[in-house]
Amino acid sequence: MAATIRDVARASGVHVSTVSRTFSAPHLVNTETRNRVLAVAEDLGYRPNRAARALTTGRTHNIGLIVADISNPFFPPLIKAAQAHARARDYHVFVADTDEDPQVEEELIQTLAKQVDGVLLCSPRLSNRVIERLHADVPFVVVNRRVKGMPTILMDIGQGARHAIEHLAGLGHRRIALLSGPTGSWTSGEMCAAAAAAEGVEVVILGPNAPTERGGLAAAAEVLASGVTGVLAYNDLVAIGLIEGLYERGVRVPGEISVVGVDDIVSGRLNRPKLTTVAMPTAAAGRMAVDLLLHSFGDGATPTLATLETSLVVRESTGEAQK
Amino acid sequence: MAATIRDVARASGVHVSTVSRTFSAPHLVNTETRNRVLAVAEDLGYRPNRAARALTTGRTHNIGLIVADISNPFFPPLIKAAQAHARARDYHVFVADTDEDPQVEEELIQTLAKQVDGVLLCSPRLSNRVIERLHADVPFVVVNRRVKGMPTILMDIGQGARHAIEHLAGLGHRRIALLSGPTGSWTSGEMCAAAAAAEGVEVVILGPNAPTERGGLAAAAEVLASGVTGVLAYNDLVAIGLIEGLYERGVRVPGEISVVGVDDIVSGRLNRPKLTTVAMPTAAAGRMAVDLLLHSFGDGATPTLATLETSLVVRESTGEAQK
DNA sequence: TCAGGGGCTGCAACCGGTTGCATGAAACAT
DNA sequence: ATGTTTCATGCAACCGGTTGCAGCCCCTGA
C-alpha cells in the first residue's frame, strides 16, 4: 500500500541502504544523489516507518505519559507542556489514562513498554514494589511520588500544606480539617505528614476521599460534624465540591468556614468565591520530566531528584475565623 | 536485554515458529509443548513485542485519538469512554493534543499513521481537503465534522442550538447573541447556521472566539455593547468566562442577561449560577467512534454516519427577559 | 501391507528499516 | 607512476516476530 524504502530505492536506481542513509544520516550521501532520492520519495509519498526503524535502533522516539485521571484539570497543563517540550526535541508523547485503577496502570505500562523509549508516571497509584519491578521493562520518570533509585520530580506539597495551615492559623483558625486523597497517593501522604506536624492548631484528618468534586461534595457533612472552621482539601476539585456541599447546607464560605485547595486549576479562579489554593508548578514539572527522561537515555547516569516549589495563592475562599 | 522469542525457543528446545504459534495460534500446538513453552516464557519474563508483530501482521492493536485541547473538559469523558471501550476489545488508545494548531494536527497524524491501526479525529481543525488526503495513510473516524466518504459521528448541535434559542425566545428574549467558536470548527458552523435560520428572534453572531474561559471573558464587553438580553455561547467554558466577565462589570446573570452554554461539563454544574446548557453525548460518541473504527477494519464496508441527539438542560443561568 | 490423512513441528522467507564492512573511484601526496 | 586517503555506495546480516509450505510420525481403513 504505502511506499516503502525499497520502492524508493527501485524508483531512484540506488540501493535501499542509500535511501535509508538519505533520511537517517544525510551527511553520508552525495548531495546530488540525496536530492534525487528525496525527490522520488516526495513523489511517492514515502515516509519512514518509525515502528520498523525502532526494531533495529531500539529507539522509537516516543514517550508514554500515564495519568490517573485525564479529567482532573490538574493534568492537562502538565500533559501539554510535556508534549510541546518533547515535540521540540523530536519526540512524541502518547497519553493514557488509568482511571485510578492500579491494575489498569500496570497493564498499560506493560503494553507501552515496547512501543516507547520511556514512560512518565504521573501520580502513580501502584505500590513502589510494583513500580520497581516494572522498571526492568522500560525507563521511568516518576512525578509526585518518591521511588528509590528512580529519576523523580516532586512538587513540594509538604511545604505548600504547611503554608496553607499557617495561613489559616494566621486568620485565627484553631481547629482545621484535612481532606485526604486516595490511599495510594504520595501527595496525600505528604499532606497528612505536614498536618500531623503542625503546631499551634489542631488538625483532624478526614478521608480518604475521591479526588473529585463528588468526593468534596460527599465530605461536607463530615466536615460540619467535625466542628472545624478551616479546611485544607486534597485538591481544588475536592475544595470546589466541598464549597458547593456547604452552600447547599446553608453554610457560607469563607464566612463560617474557610477552604483552601491545592493545584490552582483554572476553574478555581472562576468559581465564586474564588479559591485560595496551593499552586502546583505543573507545566514546569512536565517539561522537566521530559528532560530527565531524555537525559537518562544518554548514559547510565545517576538518577536525579528535582523538587519544585509550590506557592500559596490567597483569594476569596479563606477569611478570619468566626468567634 | 528483555527476552525475545528466540531466547524462549532455545530454552525450551523448540523452533521459534512454535513459540510464535504458542502465543498467536495456540490451537496449532500440542498441549504438552504449549505448556512447556508457556512455563519457560513465564520464567524468562517474555512478552511478545507488539511493534515487531505489527511489522508482519500489519495490525498494531493501537488506536490514536486526536483532540484539539485536552484541557477542555469536553474531551476527557469522550477519551475515557473510548479507552475503556477499546481496552475491552484488546485495543489501546493513545491520546495526542494538537493545541488547536492545524499544522501540529497534520504532523501528529503523519506520525501516528504507522503506529496505530486507525485514528479517531475529534473536532478537527484541518480542512476537509487535507483530511481526505491524509486518509490515504491511515483509516479515520471523524467526530464532530462532516467529511465526505468517511465514517463520521456527529452530535446534533444544530438541533441543540435551535432548542436553546427557542428556550430563550420562550423566556421573552427578542435579541440574542451567538458567541461563535474557532474558524475551523464544524460545530461552530452548525450553530451559526441554526442561528441564521431562527425565526421570531434576532440573532447577532459575535466572534470567532477562543473556545476557552478566556475567550468568554474577552467577549463580555462586546456582548454588552450589542444590546442583547440572551447569549448562546460556543461552549460551557466560554459561557463561564462570559458570566465572570459580566459579573466583573456588575451585570447579573440571569437577572439582566441570560446565558446558555454547550457541552454540559462538570464545572458548569458547580458554578453559580448553575449553567443552562446543551448536553452533548460525549461518552456515547467515544464508544461509538471505537466501534465504527474497528468495524471498518473488518471489511471495506460503506462508511457510516451516526448522528447522536443533544438535549437542553435548563438550570439557573437563564431566566425571563428584562422588560 | 500400504495409501491416505491429520496433527505437530521445522524451515526459511518476509515485514521495513539500519549498519558494519567491503569495494571502487576519485583526489591527494610523494 | 605509485601508494594512501577520502568519499560514496552496495552487500548482507540483523532487529523480533509471522506464516506458507513441507516433512515427519502415527493412526485409520481397505
pLDDT digits (tens, 9 = 90+) for B205-261: 998 999 999 999 999 999 999 999 999 999 999 999 999 999 999 999 999 999 999
Q: Report yes or no: A54 at the B interface, CB cutoff 8 Å.
A: yes
> In this model, does residue B76 exceed pLDDT 90?
yes
Whole-Å CA distances, B109 to A23, B64, B131, B149, B274: 20, 8, 10, 19, 38
Calculate mean pLDDT across residues A82-95: 93
The per-residue pLDDT for B271 is 78
pLDDT-derived band at B114, boundaries 50, 70, 90: confident
Q: Smallest CA–CA separation between B311 and chain A, in Å? A: 22
∠ CA B301-B305-B310, nearest 5°, is 155
Average pLDDT, chain A: 94
The per-residue pLDDT for A184 is 87
pLDDT digits (tens, 9 = 90+) for A237-260: 999 999 999 999 999 999 999 999
> In this model, does residue B302 exceed pLDDT 80?
no
pLDDT > 70 in chain A, percent: 98
The nucleotide lying nearest A56 (C-alpha to C1') is D15
The per-residue pLDDT for B301 is 67
The per-residue pLDDT for B136 is 86
Which of B46, B59, B83 should one mutate to test binding to chain A, selecting the residue with the greatest count of A CBs within 10 A? B83
Q: Report yes or no: B2 at the A interface, CB cutoff 8 Å.
A: yes
B93 to chain A: which residues are within 8 Å by CB? 96
> In this model, does residue A202 exceed pLDDT 90?
yes
Calculate mean pLDDT across residues B294-311: 86
**SS3 call for A276:** strand
Rounded CA–C1' distance between A7 and C19, in angstroms: 20
Q: Hey, how many other C-beta atoms are within 10 angstroms of the C-beta on B53?
A: 18
User: A193, A68, A71: which is closest to A126 by C-alpha?
Assistant: A68
A83: CB partners within 8 A, 6+ apart:
A92, A93, B96, B97, B99
Query: Residue A317: phi, psi to the nearest 5?
Result: -90, 0
pLDDT-derived band at B267, boundaries 50, 70, 90: confident
A11-20, B100-109, B278-287: segment of lowest average pLDDT: B100-109
B278 in Cβ contact with B163 (< 8 Å): yes
The per-residue pLDDT for A39 is 96
The position carrying cell 478537527 is B124
Which of B103, B114, B265 should one mutate to test binding to chain A, selecting the residue with the greatest count of A CBs within 10 A? B114
The per-residue pLDDT for B184 is 87
Contact B51 A241 (CB under 8 A): no
The per-residue pLDDT for A302 is 67
How much is the pTM?
Answer: 0.90
The per-residue pLDDT for B2 is 84
The per-residue pLDDT for B300 is 64
> In this model, does residue A115 exceed pLDDT 70?
yes
Average pLDDT, chain B: 94
The per-residue pLDDT for B323 is 65
A98 in Cβ contact with A67 (< 8 Å): yes
